Structure 1
Amino acid sequence: MNGTRLPPAGWLPVAASWRDDELWVDWSHFGECPLREPFFDDEIEKCLLRPFNRLFRHATPITALVDGLEAGRHLKPDGFIFHMSRCGSTLVAQMLAKLIGSIVVSEAGPIDAVVNARSARPDLSEDEHALWLRAIIAAFGRPRRGDERFFVVKLDSWHTRSLALFRRAFPDVPWLFLYRDPVEVLVSHLRRPGMQMVPALVPAERLGLKPSHARQAPAGYYAEVLAAICEPISRLQRLDRGLLLDYRQLPAAVASVVMPHFGIASDSRASAVFSDVAAHNAKAPGLAFAADGAAKQAEASAAVRELAKTLLEAPYQRLETLRLDAVTVSRAAVMS
């Protein structure tokens, strides 16, 4: 079913694709089911198994979302989660997603399609692009159960390169950037590369890299990608509603730092819920969590350490300086 009207409550965007010069959004019916899986793709997989979604489809042009943005009821996002990758962002999202009244969307493909819209439509103005982004985010923030009280969006790692777009679209919404010791992140991708490390899935150009970079040895390219992800944040002169968080601060910082930053009130279940989530592997909740930092450090070869030092040490140290300076300023403000 195609149309210019938004589907009723209970439907969420599951894909977005171009038809000629127009971006169309495909929807599926989720009903009142909360989003609890580590990634939105996992939610889609479950959703599409339902007989209803095999029989009924809905698609609308992005302009229909824009037109419905003002008229429709939706929660404004309380926070955005940017991240380096393999640094605890899934844990943060999973902890928040388990709270009563949450809407937490993790790395949704339709959002990425809108973020990347100007590659297909270079004529799209910055203001219109920001409007499209507000519209697709609003589509995920529509209440489906009735108890929703906060809304957080975890983004893809390469979306740091679109921070300016998010700040233009949502200047008052706080954001977070998570990062980790570069050696440990690099080893994690060498064990099992993320999609951002596969140029066929995320072209080098989207990361500000040349196609020729992708032809080097995997470790070298992965380090270039991680540097490209961190660079836009590490070069900031001021955070402007932003918060930096190192992996070492997790999981305690979710309750003590992240929730206050996003303006999310705690509830009576939070402590028990957080303890349970932190005890399990965030990406595979059926498995127990096992700290692996020491193992990754031991596994790193001399070549990997040299790549981390050459390409990632500088942005990592700038992030650490920004984070610690922000903590100092915050403490001084409390004491004054």
Structure 2
Amino acid sequence: MDNYFSQYCALLGSQESLANCQQAESLGDLLTRIKQLWGCEHLDDGELLGEINRLNQIPVDDSVKLAGNWLPYRYQPRRKQVSWLVPVGHATEPFQDEYISRCSQLLFNQIFQPRTSLESARQQAVEIADVQPAGFIFHLSRCGSTLISGCLSELDSTCVFSESPLLTELLLDNQLTTDEQKKSLRIFINLQAAAFPARPQMIIKWNAWDIFRWELIRGLYPQVPTIFLVRDPVEILASHQRTTGRHMAGDPSLGVLHPVYAGQGAALSMLDCRIEVLRTLLLAMGKQSFSSNTRVVDYRQVNAQHVAEVLNFFGCVVDKLGFLKIQERMRFNSKAPGQIFVDDSIKKQHCFTVEEQERISLQINESYTQLLMLALKPREAVINDD
């Protein structure tokens, strides 16, 4: 069989060819279009699919222009490779993983799954603009960050990356030096933003554990407005009792970030382990809460008006229509947008025994209260009448 790698690369880098292929209404239609583009009408559909699958395994180099037309969405630390897909609209899903799943349903993305080396991805970014994100969201998990990021995505000018797997895996790659991580982080952010030129205000919601990478992230973006989201520790821990987050499940891969994740003693109960993780997160957040251009927001403050305030802080204009969209979004469960929101804070307060609540309070409440006092400082929101 002939080698079609040059045709494969040409298709990946051609806006016209990409648009043509995405108009295909069926697999047969798509393969017919590819055969015409590649001049391989003699191949049957099975042979062509096999060839494309083989080509997907070969990293393309930086001579193939992917930036702007393709979205880098996953980083493989062991192979030092980056996976790409064609974006389908902008993300409105609670998490970037769910947006990636939606994009993966596009027929074209099911067939073409290009990858590049990390170095090639760096070269892809050479000719694109250096982005200054509009805002960062750091949080303790289960404290309203998903609700806020979902509301922020309702504006026409914003592009929200909620716990991007691409950035997550990069910051966990301890085989890279700090300088290499910094360089790659800036490039990944630029490449992700380049896929959404009509939405220039990029907002990144980091993972809860990314607060331990504060110095690296803030060193790159010292001026980006940042909010710290907090919540009553009992309610956070109760939420993890029901559905455990990665950073509360004893995941050893997070040990590269902080000793609290490495080798927690077997003598500790699961609740005590989680208390210690949350205490450490609160201390780390409290340490940075007096940094310039930062604000603290408590879960109990999160309403449409406060979201508008956050958007103003991020430099985003909230007009009346945008405010109505935010109000509508807040009617629904942040992690299950089809379900009406029901506040379960009181229910969470009764998840633990009195003795367990006292243990939580003794070890965590002082750190939480300090952040809560910062959150309660009065702020003003502006809603544009235009």
**TM-score range for the pair, normalised by the shorter chain length:** 0.7 to 0.9
Q: Indicate whether 1:61 and 2:117 are aligned.
A: yes
The one of 339, 343, 351 aligned to 1:299: 351
- Output the amino acid matched with 2:299: Y
Query: In the alignment, which residue of structure 2 is the partner of 1:279?
Result: 331
**In the superposition, relative to structure 1, how do residues 127 and 8 fare at CA in structure 2: closer, same or farther (>3 Å)?**
closer
Sequence identity percentage: 27
| Counterpart-to-counterpart distance in 1, 2:157 and 2:195 | 10
1:35 Cα deviation after fit: 0.8
Matched to 1:290, the amino acid is V
Would the aligned equivalents of 2:138 and 2:228 in 1 still touch at CA under 8 Å? yes
Rg larger in structure = 2
Q: Tell me the alpha carbon deviations over residues 157-206 of structure 1, each in whole angstroms, 9 at most, x when there is no partner.
A: 10011111111111121111100011111111112111211223753453
Structure number with the bigger relative contact order (C-alpha 8 A, sep ≥ 6) is 1
In the other structure, the counterpart of 2:317 is 265
Superposed displacement of residue 223, structure 1: 1.2
- Name the counterpart of 1:7: 66
Question: Which of the residues 54, 61, 86 maps onto 1:29?
Answer: 86
* Distance in 1 (alpha carbons) for counterparts of 2:265 and 2:297: 29
Q: Report the CA distance between 1:40 and its aligned residue.
A: 0.8
Q: Partner of 1:161 in structure 2?
A: 212
**1:94 is aligned to 2:157:** no
Distance in structure 1 (CA, Å) of the matches to 2:320 and 2:289:
38
Q: 1:139 to 1:311 in 2, by over 3 A?
A: farther
Residue 334 of structure 1 is matched in structure 2 by none
On the 8 A contact 1:76/1:141 being kept in 2, the answer is: no
Secondary structure at 2:264's aligned position in 1?
Answer: helix
* Contact map agreement 2:67 2:195 (CA 8 A) in 1: no
Match of 2:45 in 1: none
Residue range with higher mean Cα deviation, 240-249 or 58-67: 58-67
Evaluate the alpha carbon distance shift between residue 114 and residue 253 of structure 1 in structure 2; reply closer, same or farther with a 3 A threshold. farther
Q: Aligned ranges for residues 1-336 of structure 1 at < 5 Å?
A: 1=56, 2-5=59-62, 6-19=65-78, 23-31=80-88, 33-73=89-129, 75-117=131-173, 119-121=174-176, 124=177, 126-144=178-196, 146-200=197-251, 202-204=253-255, 206-209=257-260, 211-213=262-264, 215=266, 216-236=268-288, 238-324=290-376, 327=377
Between the two proteins, the alignment pairs up a number of residues equal to 320
Amino acid at match of 2:295: L
- Does the 8 Å CA contact 2:135/2:314 hold for their aligned counterparts? yes
Cα offset, 1:75, TM superposition = 4.3
Determine the C-alpha separation between the residues in 1 that align with 2:70 and 2:165: 15
Q: 1:236 to 1:151 in 2, by over 3 A?
A: closer
> So what's the TM-score if we normalise by structure 2?
0.77
Aligned residue type for 1:65: A
Distance 1:91 1:201 in 2: 28
Matched position secondary structure for 1:269: helix
Separation of aligned partners in 2, 1:201 and 1:106? 23
Contact 1:79 1:153 in 2 (8 A): yes
Q: Which segment is superposed worse, 177-186 or 220-229?
A: 220-229
